[in-house]
Amino acid sequence: MSSTQMKPLQVGLLGFGTVGKGTWDVLQRNGEEITRRAGRPIRITWIATRTLEKARAGTRGATGVELTADPAVVIAHPDVDIVVEAMGGIEPARTHVLAAIAQGKHVVTANKALLALHGNEIFAAAHARGVMVAFEAAVAGGIPIIKALREGLSANRIEWIAGIINGTSNFILSEMRARGASFETVLKEAQSLGYAEADPTFDVEGIDAAHKLTIMASIAFGVPMQFDRAYAEGISHLTREDIRYAEEFGYRIKLLGITRRTPAGIELRVHPTLIPTRRLIANVEGAMNAVLVKGDAVGATLHYGPGAGAEPTASAVIADLVDVTRMHTADPEQRVPHLAFQPDRLSDVPFLPLGETTTSYYLRLRVEDRPGVVADITRILADRGISIAAMIQKEPRAGEPQADILLLTHRTQEKHVVAALAAIEALPTVAGSVVRIRLEELS
Ligand code: NAP
Ligand code: HSE
């Protein structure tokens, strides 16, 4: 029997927004090619969504697809083999995903928030029921980074991952730097392009990136998902001044998700980061994402592509549909484990508190321009073992008694920097808070 004559695998789609509609469109357009890859046709036969008019308009002219406002109808339908969850949010998405699993349906989801918070529960349920939960679209949009980490790099002991994994914030930083556009203007543009989360503070405060980093760390190091151990700091407090000063030092500021294996535990942190402009990853602009993975055997690999948007994300959702279709009838033991490592071989290596993590720092201080000020500051840093890599004092602006001092440090533990900054800020010659942005050489 040819692949086109085989009974189609039937998909129930929950949500018909950016990702749901994109998935529908790409499956309609590339159906024949996808069938040749999957071995049998993949058809969306049910769509559940809140605003039915949008789904009616988006599927106009198509036959063989039914629309409903009730996801439970889709999940329970005996003909539905796979449920694609493209609704977003925690509830009712979690309930629907668990219901689908309980009814023996495979699940494909783009929902990183759901997995970062409830992935352990969802994967345990799927394992017990012998179904697949696939989630390529949940991390870095169209980049097949889950596939790369889980399969392509499986020979390696992963040492660290550093990624630009939020398209919205990278778009905002790029446009602020290139056009001098305001934060608010660019955020609105990202929302209209379908990049931003329903709650855009998730994008700009580093939470969405922390969800994705949590998922990657689990797969890279074979540990359960622990979103509550992730540190998330966003870009909303960054100033154009610091973006410009960073450029003067030869660095670019990116919102980076970093997870690193150290002898004491695993670092898991998202924050604005200075990276050398000469690194490829520093030149990733707009809504593009890039994930740098350091494995002990392969060295560094860079995975680059569109991190958000309708069809890039659909590309990842459909890749999962193809995988699930191919493995549909396979013995569950033969499938790739959800978190790359066999579920009974996950490790309990701890995640490190932020104070125990190690990185370099960019510091900007506003100080009175008189003798002894720099000596006081450098003494405080030296007393805590913090070594200075570079220092510039800017000319005071006309009519102003204070000058900016910019410092780059060598690598040191966060807790030492926190203590040093408290002491520096207490000096009578230092005005206001010290600006502190972490720095990674990524070498
Ligand atoms: P979206 O455009 O807001 O679409 C969500 C869809 O789900 C809408 O059709 C919405 O209906 C429907 N929906 C929401 N709650 C529902 C409910 N309780 N019952 C029935 N339908 C419901 O969101 P999206 O951008 O496609 O994102 C979907 C998921 O993909 C999220 O988890 C997101 O994080 C993830 N993701 C998004 C992107 C991206 O670039 N957008 C990329 C990767 C991953 P209404 O039309 O009535 O609101
Ligand atoms: N809001 C997310 C972003 C969508 O901007 O990257 C892709 O996960």
The pLDDT tens digits of the residues spanning 262-317 come to 999 999 999 999 999 999 999 999 999 999 999 999 999 999 999 999 999 999 99
Q: Edge-to-edge strand order for the sheet containing 133-134? A: 66-68, 42-48, 9-14, 82-85, 106-109, 133-134
The DSSP result for 9-43, as a single string, is EEEEEE--SHHHHHHHHHHHHHHHHHHHHHSS-EE
Other CB atoms within 10 Å distance of the CB of residue 275: 22
Ligand 1 and 54: CB distance under 6 A: yes
Pick from 259, 97, 85, 94: which is nearest to 165 by CA?
259
Q: Which atom of ligand 2 is nearest to the CA of 196?
A: 1
| pLDDT of 166 | 97
| pLDDT of 85 | 98
How remote is the CA of residue 141 from the centroid of ligand 2, in Å? 7
**What are the structure tokens assigned to 409, written together?**
């440090």
Hey, whose CA ends up nearest to atom 15 of ligand 1? Answer: 87
The pLDDT tens digits of the residues spanning 131-172 come to 999 999 999 999 999 999 999 999 999 999 999 999 999 999
Q: How far is CA 214 from the centre of its chain?
A: 8
Least confident stretch, 79-88, 258-267, 323-332, 423-432: 323-332
How remote is the CA of residue 298 from the centroid of ligand 2, in Å? 28
Q: Estimate the crossing angle of helix 373-383 against helix 414-425, to 10 degrees.
A: 150
CA distance 296 to 277: 25
| pLDDT of 369 | 86
Ligand 2 probe mutation, 109, 111, 136, 168, most atoms within 8 A of CB: 168
For residue 390, the cross-strand partners are: 408
| pLDDT of 183 | 85
Question: What is the pairing mode between strands 358-368 and 402-409?
Answer: antiparallel
Give whole-number Cα distances, 439 to 161, 393, 431, in Å: 15, 19, 23
Residue pair 386/352 in contact by the 8 Å Cβ criterion: no
Q: Return the ∠ at Cα 129 (arms to 123 and 134), rounded to 5°.
A: 45
- Mean of per-residue pLDDT scores for the chain: 96
**What are the structure tokens assigned to 140, written together?**
């870095």
**Ligand at shortest distance from the CA of 72:** 1
How remote is the CA of residue 255 from the centroid of ligand 2, in Å? 13
Whether a cis peptide bond, with omega within 30° of 0, leads into 350 is: no
Ligand 1 and 197: CB distance under 6 A: yes
Residue 225: helix, strand or coil by DSSP?
coil
pTM: 0.97
Q: Which architecture, in CATH terms, is 145-306?
A: 2-Layer Sandwich (3.30)
Ligand 2 and 171: CB distance under 6 A: no
Ligand 1 and 361: CB distance under 6 A: no
**What are the structure tokens assigned to 172, written together?**
């905002």
| pLDDT of 1 | 64
Ligand 1 and 41: CB distance under 6 A: no
Tell me: domain 9-143+311-345, CATH 3.20.20.60, correct?
no
How remote is the CA of residue 219 from the centroid of ligand 2, in Å? 20
Ligand 2 and 141: CB distance under 6 A: yes
Ligand 1 and 313: CB distance under 6 A: yes
Ligand 1 and 24: CB distance under 6 A: no
How remote is the CA of residue 87 from the centroid of ligand 1, in Å? 4
Catalytic sites, residue numbers: 212
Q: Which atom of ligand 1 is nearest to the CA of 15?
A: 7
Q: Can you give 286-344 as a three-state secondary structure string?
A: CCEEEEEEEECCCEEEEEEEECCCHHHHHHHHHHHHHHHHHHCCCCHHHCCCCCCCCHH
Q: What average pLDDT does this structure show over 237-241?
A: 89
Q: Which atom of ligand 1 is nearest to the CA of 111?
A: 32
The pLDDT of residue 75 is above 70 = yes
Pick the CATH number of 355-439 from 3.40.50.300, 3.20.20.70, 1.10.1060.10, 3.30.70.260: 3.30.70.260
Can you give the residue ranges of every domain in the chain?
9-143+311-345, 145-306, 355-439
